[in-house]
Structure 1
Amino acid sequence: MNIKILSWFKPSDHHEYLHIDLGQHQYGNFSMATVKGNAIVEDQSQIESGPIGLKEEGPFGTFVEVYDGHAGPDASIFTREKLFGILQGHIINKGRMSTEVLIDSIAELENQYLGLVRENLPGMLLQETSCVVGMVSGGQIYIANVGDSRAVMGTVVRTKSQVKAAFERKGIQAVPLTINHSMKLNSGVQDFNTRQLKYVHTDDYLRAKAYIRTSRTIGAAFLKMKEFNNCSGLSDTLRFKDNIRFPILSHVPWTKAEVLNADNKFVIFGSHGFWDLVDEQRVVEIVYNSSQKGIARVLIKHALKKVALDQGLTYRKLEKLEAGSSLSFYDDISVVVLFLDHHKINSNRVSPECPRVAVRTYGASRFLPTADGASTSGSKSTKEAGGSIWQHVRGIGSSFRS
């Protein structure tokens, strides 16, 4: 199986809004896109497809991740570089894919990251990342999420006509596959309070609650271990003098495993910068009623039109904003749409026409799709601009083991 990425690689010359319009994974097609909102890109995303162990004959799977960094890009980049290789090791050790594999893999990732923080004090004490992971393998989808990046499945619903029972009307329904751990929602606040119940009236609790954005995260070392909270390089405003219980935040993911059926058509993975701007049901309907090619760009454009409307701008004016001026308007936005071909899923055998896929994002610059959905071109080459957002690698997981 050869890797086939370059034929799907269609960056704009500005490297600020980049995408793969349509690629092929083990069980169907996919579409990916990212747009920069922050001065330094903190979003990362990744897709790997093919053998998920060490043997070419299988087992096979498609692995999708979206990471949303906070307080810097290091945690999201580390997760992008390490998690898939860790997960492969646990699949090999256990002999199969499971939600337990996801939980154990994220625990190992967290330990490795905190070890890296310890070696680089005090520079990485605050950095953290949300993470949503999906694995399609063996006719099931396995989901794990930590934080506020999310996944939503588009599922066909069938209702019998009241006139003729033989006729059916078909629609599409948004089915959330994750729990949102945002502290803006009751789900996140209750999750946080459950672990810190005895401290809810202390000053330290209130300061911690004011700082954190999600009740679960990878990283944020100063909220995970007392040794990091006592670090001399940490601001006094972030030190906790009360006998507050560590970890203040959890890294343990919410997980779900679901058997796929023919009515499950696609899954949309997105960073919170995307989901905070859109309605789940509406974007599922957009995907269902649109061409697969370029659909991730279409969804980002839909989200950015909401930004423009809220700010009293036209889409064209939002597009023309100087780099960095959009920071107060929107966050980094990453979207992966994974389409599900159930003939391929049910066969669970390698498709001869499907290449092994290994693609992941690198830092983008701020740029928007044009009003017609196409990428705007500029004068600089990829090399001159410092490299592209997408990198293809030589083999599944080959650059992740170290």
Structure 2
Amino acid sequence: MFSWLARLALACWGPLARRYAPMSKDDDNSGSGANDALIWCRDLEKHSFGEFSFAVVQANEVIEDHSQVETGRDATFVGVYDGHGGPEASRFISDHLFLHLMRLARENGTMSEDILRSAFSATEDGFLTLVRRTCGIKPVIAAIGSCCLVGVIWRGTLYVANLGDSRAVIGCLGRSNKIIAEQLSREHNASMEEVRQELRSLHPDDSHIVVMKHGVWRIKGIIQVSRSIGDAYLKRPEFSLDPSFPRFHLPEPIRRPVLTAEPSICTRVLQPNDKFLIFASDGLWEHLTNQQAVEIVHNNPRAGIARRLLTTALNEAARKREMRYDDLKKVGKGVRRFFHDDITVVVIYLDHEVLRKNFSVPELSVRGFIDTVGPSNFNTLQGIDSKTMS
């Protein structure tokens, strides 16, 4: 049945797909996403401790993934923001979270887990203020939110903070030079038993805190992720939506927040066997396991590796629908969402000889898909005593 629908979608939308111009992509014909107008990529760039590769594919009518890589003299920042309900929250995070982090690091003279938490909190407060100011004009903004995955490498230490179900994985060299995947981020999705247990323990008086709906566990029968930026209607009673928004309507007002913006954080001193990091929204992990992903990175050239991961996932998405990827390329945005999600992938290589030499690179800000490159605000940290940052 679905394959028939897929062929119908291709027949209807194939001609339209050619109307969507590529934002920025490598025009080679390697087969790794070539001629797919909805893929954006930066095949290989430099960061403070090595190189990175960056790729994004659009599936929704308006892309809801926003992302950034910030390269500094002494640090690298990665942000993957997987929006839902609209792009407003993920765009807001991209515009504000990194700036909050740099401001707080400069004010405190250090980088720490507490600084990361404070940056997340300031971003959440800022977006809820925006919701409060605009919900009278656009009530649905109260139902817009975003997952938020952040990585910071500072002088040999990696900090990973996460809200939602994006994922950070590190590829480590084990015995006999075998690459091993280690997941660094904790996911917050009601499909996981431990998350459902956490929610039930936090809401013992609410028998409907998690509900199975259409074969999927959902919080209050509405949303899968238990932590996010935004989703104001599930955090504060003042943002409750009336019955004219049935998709987001709660049968009774919330008495206390159902979701939270408190990130889970992992800190790791990078070791010589730590070879690379993969940061990606959940659309990648829907089709690839952690181990499959690290083996692809380990066994292929660096240039275009994020794009290779992306197109491997897209090939798998097409296969599941009894299609070829060449056919999927012809499907336009919007309809494309029936086959896969917006997907963002960032691969960060860890070159330890560069770490030891304190190699200097330009301070740049690269925004995914919208394809902007400009100076990074890492220069605001130049006055911090390097001893306090080690």
1:120 — aligned with what?
134
What is the 5 A alignment of 1:379-394?
A: 389-394=370-375
Distance 1:72 1:23, change over 3 A: same
- RMSD value, Cα: 2.4
> In 1, Cα distance between the equivalents of 2:149 and 2:210?
32
For 1:40, the aligned partner's letter is: V
Q: 2:315 aligns with which of 297, 305, 315?
A: 305
For 1:26, the aligned partner's letter is: S
**Under a length normalisation based on structure 2, what TM-score does the superposition of the two structures give?**
0.82
What is the 5 A alignment of 1:101-112?
A: 101-112=115-126
C-alpha displacement of 1:396: 2.8
5+ unaligned residues in a row in structure 2: which ranges? Answer: 1-23, 28-34, 380-390
C-alpha displacement of 1:205: 11
> In 2, Cα distance between the equivalents of 1:22 and 1:194?
45
Q: CA contact under 8 A between 1:131 and 1:145: conserved in structure 2?
A: yes
> In 1, Cα distance between the equivalents of 2:329 and 2:348?
27
1:194 — aligned with what?
201
For 1:185, the aligned partner's letter is: M
SS at match of 2:71: strand
Q: CA contact under 8 A between 1:49 and 1:396: conserved in structure 2?
A: no
Q: CA contact under 8 A between 1:24 and 1:30: conserved in structure 2?
A: yes
**Does the alignment pair 1:22 with 2:22?**
no
SS at match of 1:22: strand
**Does the alignment pair 1:318 with 2:317?**
no
C-alpha displacement of 1:23: 0.2
> In 2, Cα distance between the equivalents of 1:234 and 1:195?
29
Q: Which one has a larger percent helix, Structure 1 or Structure 2?
A: 2
Q: Deviations over 1:57-111 (max 9, x none)?
A: xxx2100011100000000000001000000011112211111111111011000
Q: 1:33 aligns with which of 55, 59, 67?
A: 55
**Does the alignment pair 1:85 with 2:92?**
no
**Does the alignment pair 1:177 with 2:184?**
yes
> In 2, Cα distance between the equivalents of 1:30 and 1:62?
10
1:396 — aligned with what?
377
- Percent identity among equivalent residues? 35
For 1:85, the aligned partner's letter is: L
What is the 5 A alignment of 1:1-400?
A: 10=25, 16-51=38-73, 60-121=74-135, 122-158=139-175, 169-201=176-208, 208-229=219-240, 235=245, 238-240=248-250, 242=252, 244-347=254-357, 349=358, 351-352=359-360, 354-362=361-369, 389-396=370-377
C-alpha displacement of 1:138: 1.9
Q: Deviations over 1:154-207 (max 9, x none)?
A: 00112xxxxxxxxxx110110000111112222332232232222125899998
SS at match of 1:190: helix
1:56 — aligned with what?
none
> In 2, Cα distance between the equivalents of 1:237 and 1:326?
22
Q: Deviations over 1:243-279 (max 9, x none)?
A: 7432110110000100100000000000011111111
Q: CA contact under 8 A between 1:199 and 1:244: conserved in structure 2?
A: no
Aligned residues: 343
5+ unaligned residues in a row in structure 1: which ranges? Answer: 1-8, 52-59, 159-168, 363-388
SS at match of 1:393: strand
Q: CA contact under 8 A between 1:181 and 1:187: conserved in structure 2?
A: no
